[in-house]
Chains A and B, each alone.
Chain A
């Protein structure tokens, strides 16, 4: 048993193949308690696979996942809301605690929409319900699988800011999967940059930015983005064979 005191999650030498396609080729990730980590990599590099393995939805071919958490919240890429249930009923399905549902719905500004069905909500609102559902279980570990995919920049910025505020104020340990560097810089304390499959961790970036600078148009954030890019960030998105 690995020593993971102080860590909420430790992934060691994770390997996974789909048929003959080798996706994960020895991934090591450590997330400390209360820390926000982003896994950044190109599409198809196995970012979601890592989250699914952590959530227990997939079995790795090799490697270990050590967790020091009891409840996991998962914000899925697709909203995964039950179409014939209202916003309230969707949350109640996961955890039937009315008081907590009320508090969370007010927190994500969806209280007035509690009786609507998913089909009556906009894309951004659906993702808010998705987030509310994840927060409802009061997770020790929040997994976010590209939750801003397909959203307008304005809604994306608003939602990202809300998630960031909630995660930092509630000190929720969280892992965000994204292929957008700026999203990762805004959200995370630490970014794991992944390569093309067979995927490895190419580098780890520490983002030392105070909350007030974590905005899409903030100059300090843009400087940080330039700095990461100048370190050869683009290499991660090239096929491994070429970058070696």
Chain B
């Protein structure tokens, strides 16, 4: 019974993979059809033109510097969001008063459009590395904060009571019970942030950067080089997906403890 169900899963997964590849083929086919029908490479270049442009870009090598530049901004912004979001979220989760006090601030941070932040950031720091990094941080901060606060609120108070009975030091209660409860929520925030940070970083670079994928996209648009716009977009999508898959792999590997113990992830 076990063997048959395993082989069934294997069969299914092989078929799943085939369907996935079929899906990609379908997109390429539809794209090719549309570009042929439109016959306007300035609006919709063919897949062939885009792949040719992408291959040229990759051969030149400077594209990798742009990728690194965007990645560094995205990851720094994510780090800043976690550095501020975790303590603020913990405070908000632990104290109702703090939560009420922070609520208006969080609402403002959450509701202000990215372009408004961008306007202030450009005035403050000019075009460069800082403004896009700040935008990534400010976009991810509420997400991290909310998840951490939810994590703190979900702490099992019976465990805290148990620790009190055995006179476990407060520091250990914080680390082993509170932080332990937080980990799945932080991993979830991290997972969502990975996808978001990449997109936000590119948008912010497009409007306020001096290097990176976003800036290259902006130049390509400026020179009406549509195949290059598409090539950079494709590159951004592939890099974003790669990044997500990489962190998923890391979480899968090192988050095993939480997956087993809480049947999450």
Contacts and interface: CB of A to CB of B under 8 A. Distances in A.
Given A78-B158, A80-B159, A57 B165 contact: yes
A93 B168 contact: yes
B51 interface: no
B165 A118 contact: no
A84 B262 contact: yes
B159 A119 contact: no
Given A82-B180, A83-B261, A83-B262, A95 B166 contact: yes
30 contacts: A57-B161, A57-B164, A57-B165, A72-B165, A74-B165, A74-B166, A76-B158, A80-B158, A80-B159, A80-B161, A82-B159, A82-B180, A84-B183, A84-B258, A84-B262, A85-B261, A93-B176, A94-B163, A94-B166, A94-B168, A95-B166, A117-B257, A117-B260, A118-B261, A119-B260, A119-B262, A119-B263, A120-B260, A133-B166, A137-B166
B123 interface: no
Contacts of A120: 260
B14 interface: no
Interface string A73-109: 0101010101111000000011100000000000000
Given A93-B176, A119-B263, A84 B257 contact: yes
Contacts of A181: none
Contacts of A78: 158
B176 A80 contact: no
A53 to B, nearest CB: 12
Nearest to A77: B158
Contacts of B262: 83-84, 119
Interface residues of B, number: 20
A55 interface: yes
B108 interface: no
Residue from the set B158, B176, B177, B261 with the largest chain A CB neighbour count within 10 Å: B261
Contacts of B176: 82, 85, 93
A85 B161 CA distance: 17
Given A57-B165, A82-B180, A117-B261, 17 more contacts: A55-B165, A57-B164, A74-B162, A78-B158, A80-B161, A82-B159, A82-B176, A83-B261, A84-B257, A84-B258, A84-B261, A84-B262, A85-B261, A93-B163, A117-B257, A119-B262, A133-B166
Interface string B161-205: 111111010001000110010010000000000000000000000
Interface of B: 158-159, 161-166, 168, 172, 176-177, 180, 183, 257-258, 260-263
B155 to A, nearest CB: 11
Interface string A126-141: 0000000100010000
A74 B260 CA distance: 27
Contacts of B172: 93
Residue from the set A83, A117, A119, A137 with the largest chain B CB neighbour count within 10 Å: A83
A207 B43 CA distance: 93
A114 to B, nearest CB: 15
A72 B165 CA distance: 8
Nearest to B181: A84
A76 B162 CA distance: 8
A56 B261 CA distance: 30
B180 to A, nearest CB: 5
A122 B223 CA distance: 68
